[in-house]
Chain A
Amino acid sequence: MMENVIELQHIHKSFKGFEIKDFSINVKKGFVTGFIGGNGAGKSTTIKLIMNLLKQDSGTVSVFGMDYKKHEKEIKERIGFVYDENIFYENLTLKDMKRIIKPAYKNWDDNAFQRYVNEFELPLNKSMKTFSKGMKMKASLAIALAHHAELIIMDEPTAGLDPIFRRELLNILHELMQDEDRTIFFSTHITTDLDRIADYITFVHNGEHIFTKEFYKIEEEYAIVKGTLDLLDRETEQEFISIRKTNTGFEALTADKNRVINIFGDTVIVEKPTLEDIMYYTKKGR
């Protein structure tokens, strides 16, 4: 029985020069959902809507089955957040930050906090100014875990971090997902980070929700197709989301792998698409 931890339904939100129309997404409980999309696709807006940092013009936002109007505190008690921007008071130490944050949560577990601080090797008595981006990210994570957050929202947590670090984070997330009540919502540009941890991928583009799929389904349905230019004509071009033509041939993305194999047979090479391919060709095709 798969519950949705987050449900956005028919959200409308307009800004100067950008709009989200009839936007709906669901995030399943107990899994890692990778949230991808180009710059300006609506990723930050979605996260802000989920965190109630922004209010929608119309539509509903529900987290843990509750809405913010009536249950703001209950919802936020159970959410941990790791943001891209710095949210700490620069002149304070991590110890000070704990003093400020701890009383906000009913479920604060000092032992857990200390455990993660030790594991992540974070200094308690140096000012947050001295923390690198990676350390700030780990600090946010330590805080999120110290109050046993069931839902962890991560907005570009690995941006600007070295590959070793990103691998370490992956290990941490794998450990976290041993708890089947925990859900992680992970927005990122670095799509390769998702290959080893994401269960579902939610792809947004230009304020539109393009798809939410199980990771393995993407391989089943989408494919990169490579072939010679003579294979393309007005009809066959319709099979693809978009096509990149060069002097030596074409490369294209299809959302219906089996159909393309039926149509082209052996005359083309069919390959697994990366998430980057999907983002790139979708943008190209619109």
Chain B
Amino acid sequence: MQIIISNSSKEPIYEQIYAQIKKLILTGELQEGQALPSMRQLAKDLEISVITTKRAYEELEKNGFIYSIVGKGSFIAEQNKEMMRERKIKVIEENLLIAIQNAKEMNLSLAELKEMLTLLYTEDA
């Protein structure tokens, strides 16, 4: 699990951790049931105080992203698959809107756009 924090950002460090772990969960990089590093281990790795990682983990737990077992650690909770799917679809829609906006600015037609899409999609596969 790779996490990068910025000391100079306006965002409090525990929020940065929360956001990054949440993203990893939503994008599926962290799987359900997977164990998170202990909050003390994470604090040591990131060179921050334990109470910061503790707060981040508490927030994650409060919002249902992880759960903790005393003496064993914290684990990724089962995510509502429907919600995740909906979220992902929304992200795709947003990205498409941006592409469409750019295309219109360049006077690219819908047909040309579809062609680009097909090309890129099949190329990847």
Contacts and interface: CB of A to CB of B under 8 A. Distances in A.
Given A174-B43, A180-B40, A216-B13, A32 B48 contact: no
B50 A196 contact: no
Contact of B12 (A30, A31, A32, A220): A220
Contacts of A215: 49, 51-52
A216 B49 CA distance: 10
- Among A170, A199, A220, A272, which residue has the most Cβ atoms of chain B within 10 A? A199
Interface residues of A, number: 20
A144 B47 CA distance: 23
Contacts of B12: 216, 219-220
Contact of B44 (A178, A180, A200, A216): A178
B51 A174 contact: no
A39 B50 CA distance: 28
B43 A214 contact: no
In this complex, which of B10, B44, B51 has the most chain A Cβ atoms within 10 angstroms of its Cβ? B51
A169 interface: no
B51 A170 contact: no
Contacts of B44: 174-175, 177-178
Contacts of A200: 51
A79 B77 CA distance: 40
Contacts of B50: 30-32, 177, 199
A272 B49 CA distance: 17
Contact of A196 (B10, B14, B48): B48
Given A216-B12, A216-B14, A216-B55, A198 B49 contact: yes
B40 A177 contact: yes
A174 B14 contact: no
Interface string A5-20: 0000000000000000
A237 to B, nearest CB: 26
A51 interface: no
B41 interface: yes
A82 to B, nearest CB: 19
Contacts of A31: 50-51
A241 interface: no
A197 interface: yes
Contacts of B51: 31, 199-200, 214-216
A220 B55 CA distance: 13
A272 B48 CA distance: 17
B47 to A, nearest CB: 5
A200 B50 CA distance: 10
Contacts of B49: 32, 196-199, 215
Contacts of B14: 216
Nearest to B8: A272
Interface string B43-78: 110011111100100000000000000000000000
Interface of B: 10, 12-14, 40-41, 43-44, 47-52, 55
5 contacts: A175-B44, A178-B40, A196-B48, A199-B51, A216-B14
The 3 closest A-B pairs by CB, nearest first: A199-B51, A174-B44, A199-B49
Given A174-B43, A196-B48, A219-B12, 8 more contacts: A32-B49, A199-B50, A214-B51, A216-B13, A216-B14, A216-B52, A216-B55, A220-B12
